Amino acid sequence: MADLTQSSTLQTSVSTPLRPRIKLRHVVDHAILIAGAFLMLFPVVLVLMTTSFEDADIVKHGLQLGFEGKMLENFEAAMFEASGFTKTITGTRMLMNSMILGLGFAIGKIVISMMAAYAIVYFRLRFATLAFWIIFTTLLLPLEVRILPSYEAIQSLGLANTYTGLIVPLIASATGTFFFRQFFRSIPEELVEAARIDGAGPVKFFIDIIIPLSRTMIAAIFIIMFVYGWNQYLWPTLITTDEGMFTLVRGIKQIVQVLSQTGAMIPEYGKALALSLIAMIPPVLIVIFFQSWFVKGLTESDK
Amino acid sequence: MAQVTLDRVRKTYPNGHEAVQPCTVEIPDGELVVLVGPSGCGKSTLLRMIAGLEDITEGSLSIGPDVVNHKDPADRNIAMVFQNYALYPHMTVAKNMGYGLKNRGASKAEIDQKVAEAARILNLGDYLDRRPSQLSGGQRQRVAMGRAIVRDPELFLFDEPLSNLDAKLRNQMRIEIRALQQRLGVTSVYVTHDQVEAMTMADRIIVLNGGRVEQIGTPSEIYERPASTFVAGFMGAPPMNLMQARVLNGAVQLDGTTKLTLAPPAVATDTVLVGFRPEDVRLGGDGSAVLEVAIVEELGAHRLLHGTLGGQSFSISVGKDETAQVGPQPITLPQDRVHFFHPERGTRL
Ligand SMILES: Nc1ncnc2c1ncn2[C@@H]1O[C@H](COP(=O)(O)OP(=O)(O)OP(=O)(O)O)[C@@H](O)[C@H]1O
Ligand SMILES: [Mg+2]
C-alpha cells in the first residue's frame, strides 16, 4: 500500500502536466505489484470457483478451476442450513458469535490497555514502572502457555460456553498497554497542565483529551486486535462445547468433520469453503473501513 | 483581582536540587511582575509553584486573602499561558477557549457569550471554528490568551509566551498583552529571559540568578541602580562595563597609568568594581581616559565602539552622527553615572 501511494506521487511529481511520460521504473514497479496482487488473490479465487462444484467432484479432483452451478446453493447452505452433530447452528449464528468475539476482544483489549497505560503514565504510583514491566513480561506468556490454568479457572467459575468466558480471558493486553503507554508519554506535559488548570479531573481528562487524541492509535489497535480475535481458534475450541456458541473459524472445522446426510457420506466441502470465504469478509471490511479513518486521523491531527 | 504574596517560598526538587531559594515578594493587585533571569535560574519553577503545578517545599503562598499552598490549580482561579501554547489539538478555537468554563459547569449560553467576547477582544472572530493546527503562531498565541481571559481569573501566569514568535510579531504581541492586562487590571506574573521584554512590560521586575532573588524593583530602578554586578550585566544590551580598579589616595585607578577623575565610593575599600553603561559614556574629553577602539559596530541608529580602557575591555555606544574610528579616542566618564560594586561579593556599594 505504502509503495503504491509513493510510486503514484512520484509519478505525478516527475511527469510534466501536458504529456505524462511513462518511465520504465514505474512499469516495473507496477508489474511487481500486480503480480503480487494476483499471487495473493489466486487462492481466494480458486476457493471461490471450487464452491461452485459438487462435493463429490471436490473429493475426487480437489480444488477446481471453472464454474459449475452449485455456488449459490453452497453459500445458502453455509449461511442458513443448520449443521453440526446437533443440527442447531447455522452460518449466520456462527458469524454472529465470531462478531461478538472479535468486537468484544478488540474493544475489551483497547479499554483495558488504555486504562492500564493511563494509570501507569499519569498517576504517581509508587511502583508504576515495576507494574509496567510486570505487564510487559506477560508478553512472554502467550495464551497457549497459560491455557490450562485459564481453562480451569473459567470452567470452575461456570463460564464455559458463555461469551464472558470466551472473551474475558483473552483481553488483558501487554502489547496494547505498551503502545498506549508510549503514545501517552509523547503527549506534551503542558497539555496535561493546561487541562489541570482548566479544571479537568482525571476522568474528564481521560474522556475529553486522551481519548480524542488517541483516535488514530485506537483505530490501529482495533484493526489488529479485531482480526486477531476473529481468527482465534484454540481458546474457542476449548471453552465452547455447546455448538450454539461456535465461532466461524471453529465451525468450519466442524462442518468438514460431520459427514453429509445426503447419503453419499462425504464431507460438505463446498459448504465449508463457502463459509471460509464468508469468514474472510468482516476482517477485510474492518481493515478497509478503519484504514481510511486511520489515515485521515494521521494527516489531520497534530499533537 | 487579587494581591499575591510569597512568603519565604522555597523549592527543592526530589533529586535534592534547590531550584528556588527562599523568596519573599508581594505583588499588589493589578500589577504585572516580570520574572527574569538566565536559563535554569528557577523562573518557571517559581511560576509553576504559583500555579499549583509544582509543590511548594517550604513557605507560604497566598492569592488574595487565602493561603493556597495546598489548593489544586483549578481552584486557585488562575489562568496560565504556556510557551508552546498547549492548545488542545482536537478542539476548535471556540472549544479550546470554553473548555475551562465548561468544566466549571457554566451554561452553554454563558460560555458562548464569554467566548464571543474574548474573540472580539483578540480579533479571533473569524477563526472560532478552526483547529489550532490551522492557525499561525501569532493566532495560536492569541487563542492561548483567549483561553486565559474567558475565565475572568484573579491572576494571569505567563511562561515565556512570546519566545516561539518571530521578532516583529513578538514586539507587537508584547504591546498587545500589556495593553490587555492593563485594561483588564488582572494581576500578572510574566516569565521571560528577554530583558527587553522585561523592561518594557513590567510594573516591577524580579531578577533571579541561580534560584536566588537578586533584585526586585521597577524597570528604571533595576536599570539605574542595579543591586549587583549580575543585575548590571544582565539588564541592558550591551551590558554595563565593569572594571577592576584600586582606590589610592582618594582616587580611582585602573592600572599604573590610567587614573579616573572620580570620587571613590563612600565605603572604604582597597579595590572596587567600577561600572559604566555604554550609553552613559561620551566621546571627547580632557584625555585623562583614553579608549583604545578596536572594533566599530554599526547598528544604524547608533554605533558601538569596542576596545580597551586601561587594559580592560570597555564598550561605548555613540550616536550615528558622531565620528567613530579605530584607534585611541578620549572619552568622558561622568561622575553622576558611575556604579560601584564590591570586588568579591559583587554587591552595590
Ligand atoms: N523536575 C525537576 N527535577 C529536578 N530538577 C529540576 C526539575 N525541573 C527543573 N529542575 C532544575 O531546576 C532549575 C530551574 O529550572 P526552571 O525550569 O525553573 O528554569 P528556568 O529559569 O525556567 O529556565 P528556562 O529559561 O530555561 O526555562 C534548573 O536547574 C533545572 O535543571
Ligand atoms: Mg522555563
Question: Distance between CA atoms of B190 and B172, rounded to whole angstroms?
Answer: 16
Q: Is the pLDDT of residue B7 over 90?
A: yes
Phi, psi for residue B270 in degrees, rounded to 5: -85, -45
For ligand 1, atom 26, name the residue with the nearest CA: B39
Q: What is the mean pLDDT of residues A32-37?
A: 95
Query: Is A186's Cβ below 8 Å from some Cβ in B?
Result: no
Cβ atoms of B302 and B338 closer than 8 Å: no
Question: Distance between CA atoms of A144 and A211, rounded to whole angstroms?
Answer: 32
- Counting Cα atoms < 13 Å in the Cβ hemisphere of A37 gives 9
pTM of the model: 0.81
Query: Is A66's Cβ below 8 Å from some Cβ in B?
Result: no
Other Cβ atoms less than 10 A from the Cβ of B206: the count is: 25
Q: Please provide the average confidence, as pLDDT, over all residues in chain A.
A: 82
Cβ atoms of A52 and A77 closer than 8 Å: no
- Closest residue to A303, CB basis, from B74, B89, B104: B89
Q: Domain A108-245+279-299 falls in which CATH fold?
A: MetI-like fold (1.10.3720)
Q: Is the pLDDT of residue A5 over 50?
A: no
The C-alpha cell of B239 is what? 551590558
Question: Distance between CA atoms of B100 and B94, rounded to whole angstroms?
Answer: 11
- Closest residue to B73, CB basis, from A197, A204, A215: A197
A39-74 per-position pLDDT tens digit: 999 999 998 888 888 877 887 888 878 787 778 888
Q: Which of B174, B214, B232 is nearest to B198 (CA)?
A: B174
Q: Please provide the average confidence, as pLDDT, over all residues in chain B.
A: 90
Q: Which residues of chain B make contact with A303, given a CB cutoff of 8 A?
A: 89
Q: What is the mean pLDDT of residues A148-165?
A: 89
Question: Distance between CA atoms of B88 and B102, rounded to whole angstroms?
Answer: 14
For ligand 1, atom 17, name the residue with the nearest CA: B44
The C-alpha cell of A231 is what? 481468527
Task: Enumerate domains of chain B plus CATH numbers.
Answer: 4-232 (3.40.50.300), 238-341 (2.40.50.140)
For ligand 1, atom 16, name the residue with the nearest CA: B42
- Closest residue to B88, CB basis, from A204, A209, A300: A209
What is the reported pLDDT for A23? 83
Nearest residue on chain B to A300, judged by CA atoms? Answer: B133
Query: Is A204's Cβ below 8 Å from some Cβ in B?
Result: yes
What is the reported pLDDT for B52? 93
Does the beta-carbon distance from B73 to A193 stay under 8 Å?
Answer: yes
- Ligand 1 midpoint to CA B49 (Å): 12
Q: Could you give the ipTM of this predicted complex? A: 0.84
Does the beta-carbon distance from A301 to B103 stay under 8 Å?
Answer: no
A207 conformational bin, left if phi > 0, alpha if psi -120 to 50, beta if neither: alpha
Q: Is the pLDDT of residue A16 over 60?
A: no
Question: Distance between CA atoms of A124 and B207, rounded to whole angstroms?
Answer: 33
Per-residue buried b or exposed e for B265-280, using 16+ beta carbons within 10 Å of the residue's own CB: beeeeeebbbbbbbeb
Q: How far off is chain A from B80, nearest CA to CA, in Å?
A: 7
A61-115 per-position pLDDT tens digit: 888 787 877 788 888 888 887 776 667 778 888 889 999 999 999 999 999 999 9
Radius of gyration of the CA atoms of chain B, in A: 24
Q: Which atom of ligand 1 is nearest to the CA of B211?
A: 14
Concatenate the DSSP letters of all residues of A176-233 into one string.
HHHHHHHHHHTS-HHHHHHHHHTT--HHHIIIIIIHHHTHHHHHHHHHHHHHHHHT--
Q: Is the pLDDT of residue B252 over 90?
A: no
Does the beta-carbon distance from A198 to B133 stay under 8 Å?
Answer: no
In angstroms, the Cα distances linking A138 to A6, A141, A142, A143, A227 are 38, 5, 7, 10, 21
Q: Which residue type does B329 have? A: Q
Q: Which atom of ligand 1 is nearest to the CA of B191?
A: 22
- Ligand 2 midpoint to CA B48 (Å): 9
What is the reported pLDDT for A270? 83
B297-343 per-position pLDDT tens digit: 998 888 999 999 888 999 999 988 888 888 898 999 888 899 999 98
Spell out which residues line ligand 1, taking CB within 6 angstroms. B 13, 15, 17, 19, 37, 39-45, 193
Q: Lowest-confidence range among A92-96, A225-229, B85-89, B283-287?
A: B283-287
Does the beta-carbon distance from B86 to A302 stay under 8 Å?
Answer: no
Comparison of pLDDT for B231 and A217, the residue scoring more: B231
- Closest residue to A199, CB basis, from B86, B104, B147: B104
Q: Is the pLDDT of residue B113 over 60?
A: yes
**How does residue A240 score in pLDDT terms, banded at 50, 70 and 90?**
confident
Nearest residue on chain B to A211, judged by CA atoms? Answer: B90
Other Cβ atoms less than 10 A from the Cβ of B11: the count is: 23
- Ligand 2 midpoint to CA A301 (Å): 27
Query: Is A187's Cβ below 8 Å from some Cβ in B?
Result: no
Cβ atoms of B328 and B293 closer than 8 Å: yes
Q: Is the pLDDT of residue A260 over 80?
A: no
What is the reported pLDDT for A261? 56
- Closest residue to B51, CB basis, from A197, A198, A301: A197
Query: Is A124's Cβ below 8 Å from some Cβ in B?
Result: no
Q: Name which of A122, A183, A197 to mutate to probe chain B: the one with the most chain B Cβ atoms within 10 A of its Cβ.
A: A197
Q: Which residues of chain A make contact with B87, given a CB cutoff of 8 A?
A: 194
Q: Nearest bound ligand to CA B35?
A: 1
Q: Which residues of chain A make contact with B99, given a CB cutoff of 8 A?
A: 195, 198, 200, 208
Q: Which residues of chain B make contact with A301, given a CB cutoff of 8 A?
A: 89-90, 131, 133
Looking only at the bridges linking them, the beta strands covering B290-298 and B302-309 are antiparallel
Q: Which residues of chain B make contact with A196, given a CB cutoff of 8 A?
A: 53, 72-74
Other Cβ atoms less than 10 A from the Cβ of B169: the count is: 15
A86 Cβ contact list (under 8 Å, min separation 6) = A243
Write down the domain spans for chain A.
Answer: 108-245+279-299
Q: Which residues of chain B make contact with A194, given a CB cutoff of 8 A?
A: 80, 82, 86-88, 147
Other Cβ atoms less than 10 A from the Cβ of B50: the count is: 24
Comparison of pLDDT for A19 and B199, the residue scoring more: B199
Comparison of pLDDT for B263 and B84, the residue scoring more: B84
Q: How far apart are the first and last CA of chain A?
A: 25
Q: Is the pLDDT of residue B91 over 60?
A: yes
Query: Is B134's Cβ below 8 Å from some Cβ in A?
Result: no
**How does residue B118 score in pLDDT terms, banded at 50, 70 and 90?**
very high
Residue B280: alpha-carbon gap to chain centroid: 22
B33-59 per-position pLDDT tens digit: 999 999 999 999 999 999 999 999 999
Nearest residue on chain B to A204, judged by CA atoms? Answer: B103
Q: Is the pLDDT of residue B177 over 80?
A: yes
Instruction: Describe the crossing of helices B137-149 and B93-103 by its angle, rounded to 10 degrees.
Output: 20
Question: Distance between CA atoms of B7 and B12, rounded to whole angstroms?
Answer: 16
Q: Is the pLDDT of residue A300 over 60?
A: no
Taking 3-state DSSP, the helix, strand and coil percentages for chain B, each rounded to the nearest 5, stand at: 30, 35, 40
Nearest residue on chain A to B82, judged by CA atoms? Answer: A190
Q: Which of B121, B114, B79 is nearest to B94 (CA)?
A: B114
Q: Which of A294, A280, A217 is nearest to A249 (CA)?
A: A280
Query: Is B149's Cβ below 8 Å from some Cβ in A?
Result: no
What is the reported pLDDT for A238? 87
